[in-house]
Amino acid sequence: MQQTNVKTEERNPRTVDIDLLEAGQIVRLIQSEDFRVPPRLADCGVSDAVARAAAVVAHQLKAGGRLIYAGAGTSGRLAMLDAAEIPPTYGFPADRIAVCLAGGPGAFMQSKEGAEDDRAAGKAAVSDLGVGAGDVLIGVAASGRTPYTIGAVEEARTRGAATVAITSNPGSELGAVAAVAIEVDTGPEVIAGSTRMKAGTAQKLILNTVSTTAMILGGRVYSNLMAGVKPANAKLRQRAAGIVAQATGRDGEEVREALRESGWDLILAILMLKKMVCLAEACRLLEAAGGDLRTALGERERLSGDQLGGGRPGAARRAPAWGGVPGITGAAGLDPVQLNFMRQLLDQAVVEGDIPGAVAAVGTIGGVEFLHVTGHASLRPTVEPMREDTLFDLASLTKVVATTPVAMVFLERGLFRLDDPVAMFLPDFAGDGGEGESQPAGVPEQRRKVRIRHLLTHTSGLPAFERYYKEGLDREAILRRARTAPLVFEPGTQVLYSDLGFMVLEQILEKIGVGRLDQLAHDLVFGPLGMKDTGFCPGPDRAGRAAATEYRADLGRYMKGEVHDENALAMGGVSGHAGLFSTCADLVLYARTLLSDLRGWPVLPSLLSPATVRAMIRPQTPGPNDARGLGWAARGTELSSGGDLLSSSAFGHTGFTGTSLWIDPETGIFAVLLTNRVHLGRENERILRLRPRFHNAIAAAARRSRSTP
């Protein structure tokens, strides 16, 4: 990827002729530029990216991995400074932190400018450290195009490590190759190209925030006290005593005695004093709590939901979408060799023009074990790299992420039965067709046979789709036409995948719930589960990070942040068959919730009962290649997007834009694959082979699964 516009190297019009100013004027001008940096860190989702990076670092370190930094010049020195400060500040083992600095350690004091151009050297440095899947590497480069740093991130990614990029140039090559990209536009420097200034300030703030947040998440902070500090000198011992005293409210002598007995381990000393236990019992409590002091003290449960991010009861205990969940032991144990095959498969699909880009995640109830971001969210009219938080038009995944779960919630509440006639809720469904023409004899009776179950299993007899949008109809007119459309076969006799069926189902749900589908889905599904990026009709902020879809000649533009489906667009963006937007992280959370509900494990906020999930995914149609549950598709014997190797209990769904979600209860794994394949034109159908091959690789990777508690 060639980066043509490097903002950090542009000339700053505000500082032209700065060399003609007096000292005071120069200082004030520099300060005015520096003041522009902090607000930028909160712009364009930068703070969200920093949070994701910190969560990834904390997750890898908790699992026993290492934190590796990579950089060159000023960026590398700032990374080295952050690495050097973590062990004394938080007591984190120094042997689990390393830095790949272009030119070697000597480049910290003496610049070795040519070293940054050596991409192979960056790869070699990572290889020499033996970086692996349990580690996390943070690549720092103001320009985002430093070959050494890019090489280091590429090598780390190839080896299965988690990767983070920090750069001051959005859309950079470095950001594109990392799993999490923190890209903050700091603009041109006071002195053109001197990235030790504004860009350096941003890097220092971001590095501080990422490492500090990771240490907090890792339990090395109690309240706002440095409980993990290792007091190696008199000054630090005095500070340690003050920290323990503030944390426990005990006097000086008790504090010093506890510190001496614990070997100057502040966490153990706090635990001993607050729980009034001996050292051995404190060690036992801490080990049982997984090293988390708050849990060992029994204080984490007492924090309110508002303190931990709000939500309904139980939400505070939920781990982040990318992280692990307390109480689950044994991850899927995905084969690292197979993970590389999956990466290569997706990368090659981008290279060969099958898809513009992709975000893919594979994991279990416990969290994500494979995450890969590749290619571009947009190629035209502008080039935008794919990102971990790219928003996707889910197309027909709407049916199973919004419409079906709302229906299942209503089913559990006793508001309808699956075998209730559609006409019970929509009387004109069995009427004269709504066009002023009487239907042929026997047709109303045939339509009265259509049940809600038929709508969910695509056996209603309704047509697959109609191009209502070409008639200039509004939402209400389209819905009326859908519910009065002629049947094309006897209900229940065959499977015909039908958008119209879910448009009719939407109307039933809206009548039962006395509200529009988008609000029902938010109130009953997305809100309770914390799916903050999922919804219909994304606003400007969310739409700005959406993957581009197809070019609409009638509108004269590529669709981006607007629903691709023409009927859904004509309906204002909200329909039971299409219109939903979401991110990989939110779909991961949804998949984990379904697995958790299915197995009855109370480790995530529940959406449905195990009985409901079992009914929803149980095949209810006899066709060999059209095995359907309620909303979901079951894995057929052939032609299934779920491939050939997932178990017979697997269920999933796809979206026309290039999205898919598959879940295998037998192995306990899920797979999210989000692409924007229609950006290359709807005639591009290579996704039809890519999906099953990807899922075959996943099934093979999970052969060592041990996902039981």
Residue of 164 and 47 predicted with greater confidence: 164
Q: What pLDDT score does 229 carry?
A: 72
Q: Which CATH architecture has domain 7-217?
A: 3-Layer(aba) Sandwich (3.40)
Out of 10, 22, 85, 562, pick the active-site residue.
Answer: 85
Out of 10, 33, 113, 116, pick the active-site residue.
Answer: 116
Q: Which residues have CB under 8 Å from 623's CB, separation 6+?
A: 494, 495
DSSP per position, 389-427: T-BEE-GGGHIIIIIHHHHHHHHHTTS--TTSBGGGT-G
**For residue 227, is pLDDT > 90?**
no
Per-residue pLDDT, averaged over 397-409, amounts to 97
Residue 707 banded pLDDT, cuts 50, 70, 90: very low
Which residue type occupies 25?
Q
Cα dihedral 516, 518, 519, 525, rounded to 10, equals 130
Tokens 């448009």 — which residue? 503
Per-residue pLDDT, averaged over 648-672, amounts to 94
Per-residue pLDDT, averaged over 600-614, amounts to 85
Name the residue among 167, 112, 175, 121 with its Cα closest to residue 148: 121
Tokens 């996390």 — which residue? 136
Q: What pLDDT score does 42 carry?
A: 60
**Which pTM was predicted?**
0.57
Q: What pLDDT score does 305 carry?
A: 32
Query: In this structure, what token pair is assigned to residue 496?
Result: 């015909």
**For residue 289, is pLDDT > 80?**
no
Residue 323 banded pLDDT, cuts 50, 70, 90: very low
Which residue type occupies 289?
A
Mean of per-residue pLDDT scores for the chain: 84
Per-residue pLDDT, averaged over 607-616, amounts to 94
Contact 389, 49 (CB under 8 A): yes
CA distance 465 to 502: 10
**For residue 353, is pLDDT > 90?**
no
Give the CATH H-level superfamily of domain 399-570: DD-peptidase/beta-lactamase superfamily (3.40.710.10)
Q: What pLDDT score does 540 carry?
A: 87
Residue 400 banded pLDDT, cuts 50, 70, 90: very high
Q: Is 85 a known active-site residue? A: yes
Per-residue pLDDT, averaged over 644-660, amounts to 93
Per-residue pLDDT, averaged over 677-689, amounts to 90
Residue of 402 and 602 predicted with greater confidence: 402
Express as a percent the part of the chain with pLDDT over 90.
44
CA distance 488 to 475: 23
Per-residue pLDDT, averaged over 8-16, amounts to 69
- Are β-strands 136-140 and 162-167 bridged in parallel, bridged antiparallel, or unpaired? parallel
Residue of 48 and 85 predicted with greater confidence: 85
Residue 654 banded pLDDT, cuts 50, 70, 90: very high
Per-residue pLDDT, averaged over 107-114, amounts to 72
For 153, 244, 248, 675, 689, the CA distances from 349, given in Å and listed in that order, are 21, 56, 57, 11, 10
pLDDT in tens, 540-581: 888 999 999 999 888 889 999 999 999 999 999 999 999 999
Residue 300 banded pLDDT, cuts 50, 70, 90: low
Which fold would CATH assign to domain 234-304? Helicase, Ruva Protein; domain 3 (1.10.8)
CA distance 536 to 543: 11
Query: In this structure, what token pair is assigned to residue 687?
Result: 């996704």
Q: What pLDDT score does 531 carry?
A: 94
**For residue 239, is pLDDT > 90?**
no
Query: 3-state DSSP call for residue 403?
Result: helix
Q: What pLDDT score does 286 carry?
A: 83
**For residue 2, is pLDDT > 50?**
no
Q: What pLDDT score does 47 carry?
A: 76
DSSP per position, 166-189: EESSTT-HHHHHSSEEEE----S-
Name the residue among 680, 679, 661 with its Cα closest to residue 671: 661
pLDDT in tens, 131-162: 998 899 999 998 888 999 999 999 999 999 99
Query: In this structure, what token pair is assigned to residue 53?
Result: 């990076």
Mean pLDDT lowest for which of 318-322, 372-376, 454-458? 318-322
Contact 55, 322 (CB under 8 A): yes
Express as a percent the part of the chain with pLDDT over 70.
87
Query: 3-state DSSP call for residue 707?
Result: coil
Q: Which residues have CB under 8 Å from 541's CB, separation 6+?
A: 45
Delimit the domains of the chain by residue range: 7-217, 234-304, 399-570
Q: What pLDDT score does 331 carry?
A: 39
pLDDT in tens, 440-491: 555 678 899 999 999 999 999 999 999 999 999 999 999 999 999 999 999 9
Per-residue pLDDT, averaged over 87-115, amounts to 82
pLDDT in tens, 20-50: 778 888 888 777 776 766 666 765 467 778 8
Cβ atoms within 10 A of the Cβ of 74, count?
A: 20
CA distance 117 to 637: 52
Query: 3-state DSSP call for residue 354?
Result: coil
Kind and range of the H or E element at 71?
strand 67-71
Q: Is 683 a known active-site residue? A: no
**For residue 498, is pLDDT > 90?**
yes
Q: Which residues have CB under 8 Å from 314's CB, separation 6+?
A: 605
**For residue 437, is pLDDT > 70?**
no
Identify the DSSP state of 440: P
Q: What pLDDT score does 8 carry?
A: 59
Q: What pLDDT score does 443 carry?
A: 61
Query: In this structure, what token pair is assigned to residue 225?
Result: 């006290």
Q: What pLDDT score does 96 carry?
A: 93
Q: Which residues have CB under 8 Å from 77's CB, separation 6+?
A: 71, 101, 108
